Structure 1
Amino acid sequence: MEIKVHDIVKFTNIDKLKHFTVVPDWVFNTKSASNYGVVRRMPISNKLIPIGLRGKSREQRFGTYIHEENIVEVITPNSLVKYIDEFSDRIYYPILKSIRDEFSKLHLSWGPTGSIGFEMATNINVTSIRSDIDMTLYIESIDEELLTEVGRFINTFDKQIDVQIEIPIIGAFLLNDYTRNNETGFIIRTPFGPQLCSLQDGEIKVHVVN
């Protein structure tokens, strides 16, 4: 079973959680936390999958673990793209449709994440008019021209859109951070913590902090 960060996993029962701290009361009284979790960016050991449970507000977030044997479904962000038209009555639909159409021309692999991705994956209403649009773009290596083109397109919208770029083995970074700071230093998120990096001659260089 391949499980990656941002995947949404459906698990059998909340009682199967492998928690190492006290579980907040809201977890037991919230539909969105009852049997769905979002995979966190952490190492996976002994088939314990690090997941985050979400409640009704930004303050209600809880990090825990679920054993792989108790996962009944894995929903990836890029698998949600084909269901966008099923959410044509949602406020975020026109933007997602535009992104889908443009990224299809560029043959890009991507998917919605955050509250919108969670809502699409679970059919549990967790978004509001204030919800940002979070998405992940999957690429194999740094392509400066492509990232510039994507950034230019995303900036045509009047809605906050946070694009996270995922590169195999390396990790992920925010497109806005990369665009502004690729030569001086941008943050790459790895399973072992954030790293300050820069782009030199098309290659990612890690800054060593003493």
Structure 2
Amino acid sequence: MVMNAHLPVQPHDLLWGLPLAAVPADAPAWVGEVVSMGHPLVVRRAQVDEGYVAVGVRGRSRGQRFAAVMKLSAITRQVKPEQLVAAVDKVETDWPALRALKQIRPVLDAVGLPWGIAGSAGFELATGIKVLHQDSDLDLILRADRFFSRVQAAELVKALEDASCRIDLQLQTPFGAVALREWASSARQVLLKADDGARLVSNPWQPQERAA
């Protein structure tokens, strides 16, 4: 999947192409090793200069995460979380997170919104690199460009609760991301994660709430 100028780069996308020379000199040694092996980087939320994208480098252990930036012009390949859904049917391993994917796919397809696979499961499906284990959660995204009610959120939480592992699903609104479980709760305000930071809001679909 080659980078296309008409395909926007969004959080949780996997990107290839960061040159080793672009790794900061003060980065831990493992960062250079990961980049030299050609592993993808994951797009993260942060404000960066025009022509760049904020990315995260993933190491072998859970604690190995490094924040970096990458030139958009350097991208040689891009995989979006929703592009990984088709790979679910080809999965041969039997980790709980992958079993859960097969269980909940009809539920998410029925919602009628684009959804995708992020986190460890997405990384493994995209690369073939074994990072999942028995206790891995399943990280998913649901692209909710339009208002997704709290009633809908609560119904979806209930529909997903019998899966083989814990599912962490983020609603991707035009102004940031909010956890499905939090939006389904009775909390008056929820945490919206945006490019310019996180804030408590009452409606993640209202642009005026981006103000500090």
In which range does the TM-score fall when normalised by the shorter chain?
0.7 to 0.9
Identity of matched residues, %: 26
Does structure 2 conserve the Cα–Cα contact (< 8 Å) formed by 1:11 and 1:72?
A: yes
What are the ranges of 5 or more consecutive residues in structure 1 without an aligned counterpart? none
Give 3-state SS (helix, strand or coil) of 1:164's partner.
Answer: strand
Q: Provide closer, same or farther for how the CA distance between residues 62 and 40 of structure 1 changes in structure 2, counting only shifts above 3 A.
A: same
Instruction: Select between 21-30 and 127-136 the one with higher mean Cα deviation.
Output: 21-30
Distance 1:151 1:205 in 2: 28
How far 1:14 sits from its partner (Å)? Answer: 2.5
**Alignment-mate amino acid for residue 71 of structure 2:** H
Aligned to 2:57: 53
Does structure 2 conserve the Cα–Cα contact (< 8 Å) formed by 1:77 and 1:112?
A: yes
Distance 2:53 2:208 in 1: 30
Aligned to 2:140: 135
Aligned to 2:198: 194
Distance 1:33 1:186 in 2: 39
* Residue from 3, 13, 27 that aligns with 2:9: 3
Matched positions, count: 204
Aligned to 2:168: 162
**Alignment-mate amino acid for residue 84 of structure 2:** L
**Alignment-mate amino acid for residue 53 of structure 1:** V
Distance 1:54 1:128 in 2: 16
1:73-122 alpha-carbon deviations (Å, 9 max, x no partner): 11000010011112132312221012212222232211111111111111
Equivalent residue runs for 1:1-210 within 5 Å: 1=5, 2-11=8-17, 13-17=19-23, 19=24, 22-30=26-34, 34-91=38-95, 92-144=97-149, 145-168=151-174, 170-182=175-187, 184-199=188-203, 206=209
Q: Provide closer, same or farther for how the CA distance between residues 41 and 32 of structure 1 changes in structure 2, counting only shifts above 3 A.
A: farther
Q: Provide closer, same or farther for how the CA distance between residues 166 and 207 of structure 1 changes in structure 2, counting only shifts above 3 A.
A: closer
Q: Provide closer, same or farther for how the CA distance between residues 207 and 26 of structure 1 changes in structure 2, counting only shifts above 3 A.
A: closer
Give 3-state SS (helix, strand or coil) of 2:66's partner.
Answer: strand
Q: Provide closer, same or farther for how the CA distance between residues 187 and 12 of structure 1 changes in structure 2, counting only shifts above 3 A.
A: closer
Q: Provide closer, same or farther for how the CA distance between residues 208 and 185 of structure 1 changes in structure 2, counting only shifts above 3 A.
A: farther
How far 1:205 sits from its partner (Å)? Answer: 7.7
**Alignment-mate amino acid for residue 29 of structure 1:** E
